[in-house]
A = this chain, B = another copy of it.
Amino acid sequence: MTRRPTLEDVAAKAGVSRALASLGLKDSSRVAAATRRRIRAAADELGYLPNLAAQNLASHRTGTIGVLLNDLHNPFFAEVFDGIAAALEKHDLKWVLTTARDVRSNEQRSIDALLAHRVDGIVLVSTRLPAAAAAAVAKTVPTVVVGRALRSRFVDCVLTDDAAGCQLAVDHLVALGHERIAHIDGGPGAGAAARRRGFESAMRHVGLSERATVVAGDFTEAAGFEGAERVFRGDTQPTAVFAANDLVAMGVLDKLGSTGIRVPEQVSVIGYDNTAISRLTTVALTTVDQSSPLLGSTAVEVLLERIGGRSGQRMELLQPTLVQRRTTAPPPT
C-alpha cells in the first residue's frame, strides 16, 4: 500500500522534465521517438497510472460522460447501456455510471454526483426527473435524455416513436380480431404517459375507443401481476392485454398462468421492449422492439454533437417494429 508513483517519478526515472513526460505519455509528436520510448518504459516499470483528479483539474476537461440508468434490474437498460458504452469507447471517452435506485429524489442526487465529477456530458436514461430539473441540468452541461420527449431548447432527446409502437401493437391485435383490449400502463415511470396516450389514440384510430381499458401500473413484474388481477376481475373482460413493457407483460403472464387462463387461446398478451426474456421460447412473448442498443449509441452521437457546439434541440425518433411470437392469437369465439 505504498504511495503511487507520480509523473514526477516517471520523469526522474526517464531523466526528463515533468512536462516532457506528460507529453511523451500522450504520444505527442513534439517529443522525439526515442525519448518517448524511454518515458513509456519508465512509466511501465513503475506501474504508473495518471491521477485522474489531477489531470481533470489541470486540463479543465474530464473526457468523461456521466450515465444515469434508471434501473439495473430491467434488462432493457442493460441493452441501452451496451449501445452507449460501445459508442463511448469508439470515441475514446470514459464514463461514470450511476443508478438512482428506488426513489425519485435520488435522481437529483445522482446527477449532482455526476456534476461533481465535472463530466463533459450527461446521458439520462429513462429518468423521471421533472422536465424543469432536466433543463436546469442541461444548462450546466450538455445533456441528452433517452426514452422521453422533453420540449426544451437545451435538452436533446432520443426515443422510440411510441405512438407508432402502440399503433403496431393495437393493429396487430385488431387484425387478429380483438376488440376489448386493456393496457396496463407504466404509471409514474418515464415515458409511461406517452405509451398510454399512444394506446388510447391507436384505439381511437381503429374506432375502438369505448372498448379500451387502461389500468394504472408501473414498469415492474409486480405491477403487471396486480394489473392483470384488476383487469380480469370485472365482468367485461378484455380478450387482449397490451403491457407497458416486457416486465409488466411477464407479470401478466404470471397472473394468468396461476389463474388457469390460457395464453394465447383465451387471452392474448403483448409486451414492449423485446428484451432477452421475451425471446425465450418458453415465454415467446409478442412484443414491440425498440432496438435498444441503437437508442444508446444514437444518444451518444447526439450528445457529442451538442458538446461540439450545436445549440438547437435535436429530437431523434426511432421507429419500432413488431416482433410476433406466441402470446397473441385470435380471440376465443
Whether A116 pairs with B52 at a CB distance below 8 angstroms is yes
Which of B51, B257, B277 is within 8 Å of A281, CB to CB? B257
Whether A82 pairs with B101 at a CB distance below 8 angstroms is yes
A41-65 interface (Cβ within 8 A of B):
47, 49-54, 56-57, 62
A270-306 interface (Cβ within 8 A of B):
276-277, 280-283
Which of B47, B72, B96 is within 8 Å of A96, CB to CB? B96
| A264 on the B face (CB < 8 A) | no
Which of B62, B97, B257, B280 is within 8 Å of A97, CB to CB? B97
How many Å from the CB of A156 to the closest CB on chain B?
14
Copies in the complex: 2
| A189 on the B face (CB < 8 A) | no
How many Å from the CB of A120 to the closest CB on chain B?
11
| A4 on the B face (CB < 8 A) | yes
Contacts of A141 in B (CB 8 A): 1
| A128 on the B face (CB < 8 A) | no
A25 to B153, CA, bound (A): 34
How many Å from the CB of A159 to the closest CB on chain B?
21
Which of B62, B78, B94 is within 8 Å of A72, CB to CB? B78
Which of B50, B96, B281 is within 8 Å of A258, CB to CB? B281
Contacts of A50 in B (CB 8 A): 116
Q: How many chain A residues touch the partner (CB < 8 A)?
A: 49
Which of B49, B52, B276 is within 8 Å of A53, CB to CB? B52
Whether B283 pairs with A118 at a CB distance below 8 angstroms is no
Whether B118 pairs with A51 at a CB distance below 8 angstroms is yes
Whether B281 pairs with A116 at a CB distance below 8 angstroms is no
| A250 on the B face (CB < 8 A) | yes
A133 to B67, CA, bound (A): 28
Contacts of A257 in B (CB 8 A): 281-282
| A253 on the B face (CB < 8 A) | yes
What 0/1 pattern do residues 111 to 134 of A give for CB contact below 8 A with B?
A: 011011110000000000000000
- Interface, chain A (partner B; CB < 8 A): 1, 4, 47, 49-54, 56-57, 62, 72-73, 75, 77-79, 81-82, 85, 94, 96-99, 101, 112-113, 115-118, 139-142, 221, 250, 253-254, 257-258, 276-277, 280-283
6 A-B pairs with the lowest CB-CB distances in the bound complex, closest first:
A72-B78, A53-B56, A53-B53, A53-B57, A97-B97, A52-B116
Interface pairs (10), CB distance under 8 Å: A50-B116, A51-B57, A51-B116, A53-B53, A53-B57, A72-B77, A73-B75, A94-B113, A253-B280, A277-B277
